[in-house]
Amino acid sequence: MPQSDSPLYSYLEKSVVEVRAPTKHGVFHPKVWLLRFTSDNEPPLFRFVCLSRNLTSDQSWDTALTLEGHLVQSRRRGFWRNRPLSDFIAALPSLAVSQVNPDVQELTSSLADEVLRVRFEVPKDFDGEDWSFMPMGLRRYRRTPTFEGCSRLMIMSPFLSGEPVSVLALTGKDNVLISRSESLDALPPDLLADIQNRTRIYMFSDAAERPEMEDEEPSYAPSCDEDLSGLHAKLYVAESGWNARLFTGSANATDAAFNHNVEFLVELSGRRSQIGIDKILGREGEKGTLLDVLVPYHPSSIAKDAQQERLESLLELGRAAVAEAGLMLRVVSESGGLFTLRLGAQSPLILESELVEAQCHPITISVSQSKSLTPLADGGEVCFEGLPLRLITGFLAVRLTAEVQWVRRALSFVLNVPVTGMPEERDREILRGIVADRNQFLRYLRFLLSVDPQSYILSSLRTRAATSMGGGIEPAPSKMPDAPLFEDLVKTLSRSPEKLVRISRLIEELRHTEKGVSVLPEGFTELWSVIQVACTKEDDL
């Protein structure tokens, strides 16, 4: 859940696609990135990242695998090894809860096609000829890690249940299990005893489990089975003779992950001496190793009670009900240039009575303006009135609160809800809010021109903070753009002309209104005309 309200979130609406697992009781759980980099002198470079971490800033223990490779443009047939990844990408639009933007559909299809012809390289110490992508939970891809015939097994997973963890009681010896104390406490006593006969069981030490964190709110509200610290990694290592196989990705050692969810793992192989269990754990007593932050597991005297389990179940059932109600937003114009955002549902939203509160608000406005979802139970609407155009958005924040025996627990999440009646000029209005005067225009222009946008933002924040601390004032509105700006535009023309396309769009948007034209510094129109002529000759604009 975003911790601040901002109209800028609305720019992400077309980029965020909500999906759901094809099975009724499953969830979409992969943590996969696929990035495409282009260069004038080389074919496109692809970077594939398979994580156990969500897009959060938490301090949990996670795993991350990175594979890189260039597109082999001369190759007509794809690499068979990449087919599962290609099929996974191609299947994503079919899992969407609403109609997918044609541009997103086209991009997805293009990536799925190109990734077939990428020659990925595995990291050092892994066998480059014996590895595989493992999407789980999609049609044709029901495969899960198998550990038959292994002599030793290690499982690292924050959550445990059923067959995926019981394999430790049946396979190998001197096995290793690393998990959370509450997950281990929740295992049936007989199963835990059988596992302990073959397995050393560890959990993270208190110091490693919850490192000291700054006094700040988390960047989002976690789901009931997530925590912002502690173990979050999912790792499986199976040894057989001199060799070892390693599986890493999103799948917990649970029945849900292996039988219902959509997940993604990558299987790697190598010599036991290089990627085996002892290599990963490190030596006993050696500082800086994984084993150094682990402690042997001892059952806790405080087991997770039925009350907490009921609270978690209620909240997850509530989230599923909200997602399945078919929420819709409708924009209605008011007088004075204001708008009403009306929230409805395709089917009645029926929640358990123990869900004592269910509230929502567009993420562009304050949480204090939240309203109850109760009207959606009988076909009514929830209305947010008096909104300026720049605050109209499809992103809806939802907060559910469950109560069992006077104990409460809350869950927050954001949905990208379909919107009808969205005014065409909404994005233009947001832009005018970002670029409200000449100083802001020049800052934004330099941001677009910067080689490293992130560093530019940090530098700008430091400068503004120093000015504020020193009692200084903001520079006066600029008139004729300075020479360095012209030089930056010329350099960009030769090195990164695609940036000028974005700047051209910005200027065209601003020219639609008198207010927009007024933020252009004196003399900038003439300067930009020179750049446009050069761009036209280069066929860049």
Pairing of strands 199-204, 229-231: unpaired
The rounded Cα 191 to chain-centroid distance in angstroms is: 35
d(CA 150, CA 242): 11
Question: What's the one-letter identity of residue 217?
Answer: E
Going by pLDDT thresholds of 50, 70 and 90, the confidence category of residue 482 is low
* pLDDT score recorded for residue 385: 96
Of 529, 530, 528, 541, give the one whose Cα is nearest residue 499: 541
Give the ranges where 92-168 is alpha helix by DSSP (H): 102-114, 162-166
φ/ψ of 355, rounded to 5, equals -85, 90
- Domains along the sequence of the chain with CATH: 31-296 (no CATH), 306-423 (2.60.40), 435-538 (no CATH)
pLDDT per position as a tens digit, 444-477: 888 888 766 555 555 555 555 555 555 555 555 4
Mean pLDDT of 468-493: 62
Task: Check whether 218 has a pLDDT greater than 60.
Answer: no
Mean pLDDT of 476-499: 70
pLDDT per position as a tens digit, 341-366: 999 999 999 999 999 999 999 999 99
Of 498, 529, 512, 527, give the one whose Cα is nearest residue 432: 512
pLDDT per position as a tens digit, 181-190: 989 998 999 9
Tokens representing 511?
Answer: 């020219």
Going by pLDDT thresholds of 50, 70 and 90, the confidence category of residue 175 is very high
pLDDT per position as a tens digit, 230-251: 899 999 999 999 999 999 999 9
d(CA 153, CA 65): 20
The rounded Cα 206 to chain-centroid distance in angstroms is: 28
Of 145, 136, 137, 189, give the one whose Cα is nearest residue 167: 145
pLDDT per position as a tens digit, 21-44: 998 888 899 999 999 998 878 899
* pLDDT score recorded for residue 220: 43
The reported pTM is 0.83
Q: What is the CA angle 313-318-322, rounded to 5?
A: 155
What proportion of the chain, given as a percentage, has pLDDT over 70? 87
Going by pLDDT thresholds of 50, 70 and 90, the confidence category of residue 281 is very high
Count of CA atoms in the C-beta half-sphere (13 A) of 318: 30
Q: Rounded to the nearest 10 degrees, what angle do helices 102-114 and 83-91 cross at?
A: 170
Name the more confident of 145 and 515: 145
pLDDT per position as a tens digit, 129-174: 999 999 999 988 877 888 888 999 999 999 999 899 999 999 989 9
* pLDDT score recorded for residue 268: 98
Task: Check whether 3 has a pLDDT greater than 80.
Answer: no
Going by pLDDT thresholds of 50, 70 and 90, the confidence category of residue 217 is very low
- What's the DSSP call for residue 465? H
* pLDDT score recorded for residue 117: 96
* pLDDT score recorded for residue 55: 79
